[in-house]
Amino acid sequence: MSKIHVMDELLANKIAAGEVVERCSSVVKELVENSIDADSKSISVELEDAGTKMIRVIDDGKGMDKEDAVIAFQRHATSKLLSEDDLFRINTLGFRGEALPSIASVSNIVLKTSTGDVGTVVHISGGKLINQTNGDARRGTIMSVNDLFYNTPARLKHIKSLYAELASVTDYMNKIALSHPDIKFSLTNNDQTILKTDGRGELLKTIKDIYGFEVAKKMYEIKGENDDYIINGYISYPEVTRANRNYIVIVVNGRVVRNIELNRVINDAYHSYKPDNRYPIVVLDIKVDPSLIDVNIHPTKMDIKFSKMESLTELITSLIKEKLDHKTIIPKVEKHLNDEESTLKDEINEKINKKESYEEIALNFNVVNDSAPYIAVNEDLIVSDKCTCKEDVVIEEPVKEESRFPKMYPVGLIHGTFIVCQSEDGMYLVDEHAAAERINLERIQKARKEKTTSKTDLIIPITMELTNTDFIILKENKEVLDILGIDVEEFGLNSIIIKSHPVWINKNEEVIIKRIIESVIKEEKNFDIEKFLNSVYAMCACKMSIRANTNITIKEMEKLLEDLSKCDNPFNCAHGRPTMIFYSNYELLKSFKRTGFEIKN
């Protein structure tokens, strides 16, 4: 008797559900993508108990007629692929014809749909058709999925907490809303609204709806194209980062995708603008000919392969670097203002720009608080309890300069670490170590780029005794040390001697060289030499820089700022931390409850 037989269709659908329907968010994803493919302009997702009890997706799309409403639940039934050739030019989010039968096999589904004529209501439980009746003529589709996994107790048992399920659904809805800002999305759980977008087609507005105003106002717009790809989107200021890559949203032809290589390229483009263990907020919309990509890799259709990956990575890198390299990236210290304070600030700034006197500003806005202590600021830093004279703080119109580096003048040092500088627009605090680190890094990079690295001999050679394993690894990667300009020779059994090093290592030579060799051994082999060299240069720049808690003179401060101003990126140290932060005149004066100004003519 034959042991091989054709699997029952319901059993096959349950097996397929194990791949397609992993959790509640998987159901939401498949249903919402079907709504998008139906040209919907408004999509609402309603949940009960994070979707474990009920998931309802309501759209205003094309809808289905009576016949299609039943066929849609048959395995491999789809309207999106008609021939094998269509598989190589996929323009829709769904195409496999597995999602609906898989979902129906592990839940109770009620489908209400109409093309604008007499509607259809279909009830399916556990993959079996219960009944089919006529419904109302509302154009669009309402799909209600109830009691998910009710007939697969093993899957139901291992479902995560309601909070985890809701977080997963919310994360997906955020990303799909970012991928289609022209569609109005809403998400509710137990009648509480979690997400709502307006569908105006403005990506930055959608970013604001999801991430908030503070993030949205710190986003750079990028756009560009080459022969293969068109890219539009937004990238966050380097100061706006998160602890994981989940905030990097990549959209390809309207599809939210996962691609480790693109995540790496985006993060690498921020190199030296932020700490390595932090990630930017990025939304990239990539348009490409469907024949250049393959989305038929995994049932979730989120993994994707590109035919011309190098062309794409070069375009992304150039767009991000071009934007960051030409922006003044100085974190500003700001208080969150209420609407009244924000309006007042705008009006006061407008008066300042018109060079109105303090008395006129105070009279117009009634902002003088007689009960508040005032501080009169002058060259002698005289402090009084209450101001009895005209304000000594003066503001001049800033001189517009092409240089990104602001004109500032050092006036002191805090804790031997932060240089206090003043400018026409406010006050800067400069981290002396971070500034020196950036200067050293660009000096090293310039020497390598110009290939002018010369060597100098050590007065006392450095010897290192290694384990036999470390000795073998170092010998295998000796070319890396040659690139760096460090001469290493064998010196007995499992020992080495260093007699010379590049001239750009001008401080803490022994510490730096030993750290480099330890890093080479740690990486072992087959590592990215360019990334490794960048990390080595950053480490060297750090070790050669002035340390915190070191007092320096005003002349030394001026020289440090002068050298920093000549850097290509004067705003971040070698490890991506900011070199300076800015306090505007307004914030300083508001902190001391001083709201008036006298304008210098």
DSSP state of 525: S
- Return the higher-pLDDT residue of 391 and 164: 164
**Is residue 361 over pLDDT 50?**
no
SS3 assignment for 156-220: HHCCCCHHHHHHHHHHHHHHHHHHCCCCEEEEEECCEEEEECCCCCCHHHHHHHHHCHHHHCCEE
**Is residue 172 over pLDDT 80?**
yes
Alpha carbon separation from 162 to 79, 113, 166 (Å, rounded): 34, 29, 6
**Is residue 347 over pLDDT 60?**
no
> What CATH number is attached to the domain comprising 263?
3.30.230.10
156-165, 166-175, 340-349: the lowest-pLDDT one: 340-349
Sign of dihedral through CA atoms 48, 54, 57, 58? Answer: negative
Residue 403 lies in a domain: yes
Cβ-defined contacts of 457-462 (< 8 Å, 24+): 457/499, 457/500, 458/498, 458/499, 458/500, 458/501, 458/509, 461/497, 461/498, 461/499, 462/497, 462/498, 462/509, 462/510, 462/513, 462/514
Edge to edge, what strands does the sheet with 219-225 contain?
Answer: 219-225, 229-236, 282-288, 248-252, 255-257
pLDDT per residue over 256-267, tens digit each?
A: 988 889 999 999
Q: Mean of the pLDDT values across residues 526-546?
A: 83
In a shared domain, residues 136 and 225 = no
pLDDT (0 to 100) of residue 380: 34
pLDDT (0 to 100) of residue 483: 83
In a shared domain, residues 68 and 187 = yes
Strand partners, 213: none
Q: How does residue 428 score in pLDDT terms, banded at 50, 70 and 90?
A: very high
Residue 440 lies in a domain: no
Tell me what percent of the chain is helix, strand and coil, each rounded to the nearest 5. 35, 25, 40
In a shared domain, residues 56 and 152 = yes
Distance CA 344, CA 350 (A): 10
| Residue among 318, 320, 295 nearest 306 (CA) | 295
pLDDT (0 to 100) of residue 71: 84
Which residues form the domain of 306? 203-325
Q: How does residue 554 score in pLDDT terms, banded at 50, 70 and 90?
A: very high
132-136, 327-331, 522-526: which is most confident:
132-136
> What CATH number is attached to the domain comprising 181?
3.30.565.10
**Is residue 339 over pLDDT 70?**
no
Cβ-defined contacts of 169-174 (< 8 Å, 24+): 169/24, 169/25, 169/28, 169/45, 169/47, 169/50, 169/51, 170/194, 170/195, 171/25, 171/246, 172/25, 172/28, 172/29, 172/32, 172/256, 173/28, 173/32, 173/45, 174/210
In a shared domain, residues 229 and 274 = yes
Choose the final residue of a domain: 258, 291, 325: 325
**Is residue 553 over pLDDT 90?**
yes
For 278-354, where are the E strands, in sequence order?
Answer: 279-280, 282-288, 293-294, 305-306
Residue 100 lies in a domain: yes
Q: Mean of the pLDDT values across residues 505-527?
A: 81
Strand partners, 106: none
CA-derived radius of gyration, the chain: 31
For 39-107, where are the E strands, in sequence order?
Answer: 42-48, 54-59
Choose the final residue of a domain: 154, 181, 196: 196
In a shared domain, residues 569 and 424 = yes
- Percent of the chain at pLDDT > 70 equals 77
Q: Whole-model pTM?
A: 0.69
- Number of domains making up the chain: 4
Q: Check: CB of residue 191 under 8 Å from CB of residue 264.
A: no
pLDDT per residue over 182-221, tens digit each?
A: 999 999 999 999 999 999 999 999 999 999 888 899 999 9
pLDDT (0 to 100) of residue 335: 60
Residue 1 lies in a domain: no
Q: What distance, in Å, lies between the first and last C-alpha atoms of the chain?
A: 104
> What CATH number is attached to the domain comprising 520?
3.30.1370.100
pLDDT (0 to 100) of residue 223: 94
pLDDT (0 to 100) of residue 318: 94
In a shared domain, residues 133 and 233 = no
Q: Mean of the pLDDT values across residues 317-332?
A: 85
